[in-house]
Amino acid sequence: MAVTGLGMVTPAGSCVDATWRRVCEGGSTAAASHPALAGLPVDFCASVGEFDSSVVGRRNLYRLDRFVQLVLVAAHEAVADAGLCAADWDSPRVGVVIGCGMGGVATWEKQHGRLLGRGPESVSPLMIPMMTPNSAAGEIALALGARGPGMVVCTACASGATAIATARDLLASGQCDIVIAGGTEAVNTPLTVTAFANLGTLSQRCEDPAAASRPFDAERDGFVMAEGAAVLVLERADHALARGHRPRAVLAGCGSASEAHHPTAPHPEGLGASQALRAALRDADLAAGDIDHVNAHGTSTVLNDQVEARVISRALPHGPLVTSTKGVLGHLLGAAGTVEAALTVLAIQQGTVPPTANLQDTAPGIDLNLVTKTVSRQPVRAALSNSFGFGGHNVVLAFCAA
């Protein structure tokens, strides 16, 4: 399947070019600048700055939760990048699949506060459509007139990658010619950040947020909460060819597996991750040695990085270039899989693998060909993007040069 368009809104920038530039520079986006987090045990995160709100519409800035606003902006950029016009496409043949881990938590927290503080009459009747995760796909379909299959999928932090795999299936089955596939999350809220902190998954480096996300580093102590969205436009290759649009890359294969091990921890041997990686290679008809690059899930937590490194080194012993872009962006949860898939596509297209930010001393036992300090420039013909989520959800996407 052809990847014909990309769109991104991340803490690194409000478009694809800005995000890619910052990721390649390797500068962290984490900062203690979110006023709602002041005084909490973890008081920093990676937030999206200004974005083109005209795409969302003035009325929708009040009617839609932030997670929907962000993915609308990314969807418009991706569709424009694909050279598509909603007025011209066969709308029943255009699908929308979005991954989201948590939905409108910000709306829920705000309205719950109103209920407690001001009584039932103060709760907005728009709360339900604002907070339900499916509104992300519904609002994109509404804005772009996409009348094919539409859905939101949730596999925790693998949700964005699951959305792309589901979109591929819609194209392969013949149900769609085009699918707008994405992921979105905006839960940098007091309740959510505190819950993750109490779970022990967040970095505690409140004195130096910019150095907090450090995947595969010996001093890593957890991930950094982040928000954002990304969208890939996927098409059947013959459809893209017929309209004369050259793809950015090809989605060659997908693999997924459940570990059935633990609600939050990965299997010590990474059984589900290994199974998903092998399935992606098999689906793409690729040998292990064909892989030039891996965009790792690389959360900066002790367990994930240790297990993932073991999985990669065992499955790909030839040592492809490995990076985790979470060192720059933080962890976008349900949006991470699509953001990292988009960055993998750009790595293939540009022949450039970004560095793993803040990686100073690789942790003992991690034997990977990690890109550090500066970008690595070399041809990338085939690459993998790993996404792993709570509940044992593992998804690996394989991309190849177009």
Query: Catalytic annotation on 157?
Result: yes
DSSP per residue over 91-145, as a string?
A: GGGEEEEEE-SS-SHHHHHHHHHHHHHH-GGGS-TTHHHHHSTTHHHHHHHHHHT
Find the catalytic residue in 254, 297, 393, 400: 297
Residue 269, judged by CB atoms within 10 A of its CB (0-12, 13-18, 19+), counts as middle
Find the catalytic residue in 76, 239, 293, 331: 331
CA 165 to chain centre: 13
Query: Catalytic annotation on 297?
Result: yes
Query: What's the order of all strands across the beta sheet hosting 393-400?
Result: 150-153, 94-99, 178-185, 228-235, 2-9, 249-258, 393-400, 382-389, 293-295, 321-323, 369-370
The answer to whether 73 and 66 have CB atoms below 8 angstroms apart is: no
The helix or strand, by DSSP H or E, that contains position 9, with its residue range, turns out to be strand 2-9
Find the catalytic residue in 15, 24, 154, 157: 157
H helices of 267-325, in order, are 271-284, 302-315
Q: With CA atoms as reference, report the closest residue to 181 among 39, 5, 51, 15.
A: 5
Look up residue 251 and give its two tokens.
């989605």
Please report, to the nearest 10 degrees, the dihedral formed by the alpha carbons of residues 238, 239, 245, 250 taken in order.
-60
* Beta-strand pair 150-153/94-99: parallel
The answer to whether 287 and 317 have CB atoms below 8 angstroms apart is: no
The set of catalytic residues is: 157, 297, 331
